[in-house]
Amino acid sequence: MSYWIDSHAHMTEECYQEEFDVYMQRALDANVKKTLVICLNFEELERAFVLKAQYPFLDIAVGFYPGDVPKFSEEDWKRLEEVAKDERVIAIGEIGLDYYWDKSFVELQKECFIRQIELANKVQKPILIHSRDAAQDTYDILAAYKAEYGALLHCYSGSVEMAKRFEKLGLYFSFAGPLTFKNSKESKEVVKALPLNRLFVETDCPYLTPVPHRGKQNETAYVHYTGEYLAELKELDVETVQQQMIKNYKNLFKVKDM
């Protein structure tokens, strides 16, 4: 069986809740049969557990987003350690560094990134990395504190050279809607330069909507546009790309029933 996987979606966002079944049906109609739901806090995680009970093809990740780290208490950290062990949680993320929005707590971001890498290693799960305007620091931390159960760099938008360095650390890469934009020349070069066995596509919905729906609200069904675009860039047929991404997902997340 061949299908698309959305490796990064914020399906607990308010905009989807009222008509959740419609979004799920549209995903299935677009042959998107696995979606990794990213939870940034415990409210989102509780919601994701409820959604997964109804739609088992949803997978779940949880982690403290770099821009949010000042608001979490020691009690929250204890709770994160507990939920990280839950078998429905397949990865820790999105975690990392974001120097784009606010550079006033860079040291705290680094500290929390490292702490969550160590947590992922302890519970034997991979990490999902968010890195924006922070490629070098992200690299330095990953080189010094290895994610022993694998790592996926989500929404990669850096240079080819940096991608090659991350590749040597064993990382996987995921590309979102901007890959389909005319002006994203560098990302297209990165996709061509990396081997297919390190690649994923994602929506990061409700943000980063691919062409032809650019500018409108994104949804997990739309991952097929980015996937088809990636297949064209790699000069491969869609099924080859889907099959390899399913393998990549199994390899990284150790998910069996797919």
- Residue type at position 140: D
Half-sphere exposure of 121 (CA within 13 A, CB side): 11
- Choose the stretch contacting Zn ion; rule: CB under 5 A; options: 50-58, 72-80, 197-205, 238-246: 197-205
Tokens standing for 33? 């049969």
Distance CA 213, CA 174 (A): 20
| Closest separation in Å from C-beta 132 to Zn ion | 11
Region binding Zn ion by CB under 5 A among candidate stretches 20-28, 47-55, 75-83, 198-206: 198-206
* Shortest Å distance, C-beta 188 to Zn ion: 21
**Residue closer to Zn ion (CB basis): 40 or 191:** 40
The residue among 39 and 191 lying less far from Zn ion, judged by its C-beta, is 39
Q: Is the link from the previous residue into 126 a cis peptide, with omega within 30 of 0?
A: no
Looking at residues 19 to 38 of the shown chain, list those that interact with Zn ion (rule: CB under 5 A). Answer: none
Q: Shortest gap between Cβ of 155 and Zn ion (angstroms)?
A: 7
Of the pair 93, 150, the CB lying nearest Zn ion is at 93
As measured in angstroms, the least distance from the Cβ of 96 to Zn ion is: 10
Q: Output the CA torsion 139→143→147→150 (10° steps).
A: 70
- Let me know: does 89 contact 55? Beta carbons within 8 Å: no
- Whose Cβ is closer to Zn ion: residue 44's or residue 204's? 204
Part in contact with Zn ion (CB under 5 A); list of ranges 134-142, 144-152, 202-210, 229-237:
202-210
Please list every residue from 95 through 124 that binds Zn ion, using CB under 5 A: none
* CA pair distance 157, 170, nearest whole angstrom: 18
Closer of 231 and 253 to Zn ion (Cβ) = 253
Smallest distance, Å, CB 22 to Zn ion? Answer: 22
Quick one: which segment of 100-108, 162-170, 177-185, 204-212 binds Zn ion (CB under 5 A)? 204-212
The token duo for 91 is: 């990865």
Shortest distance, CB of residue 29 to Zn ion, whole angstroms?
24
Q: Sheet containing 4-9: which strands, arranged edge to edge?
A: 4-9, 32-39, 58-62, 89-98, 127-132, 151-153, 172-175, 199-201
Phi, psi of 54 (to 5 degrees): -90, -35
DSSP strand pairing (199-201 vs 151-153):
unpaired
Q: Which is nearer to Zn ion, 44 or 233 (CB)?
A: 44
Q: What is the residue-wise DSSP string for 197-239? A: GGEEE---BTSSPPTTSTTSPP-GGGHHHHHHHHHHHTT--HH
Closer CB to Zn ion, 6 or 204, in the complex: 204
- Number of residues binding to Zn ion, judged by CB under 5 A: 1
- The interface region with Zn ion, picked from 20-28, 111-119, 145-153, 196-204 by CB under 5 A, is 196-204
> Closest approach of Cβ 253 to Zn ion, in Å?
16
Beta bridge partners of 221: none
Report the interface residues with Zn ion, using CB under 5 A.
204
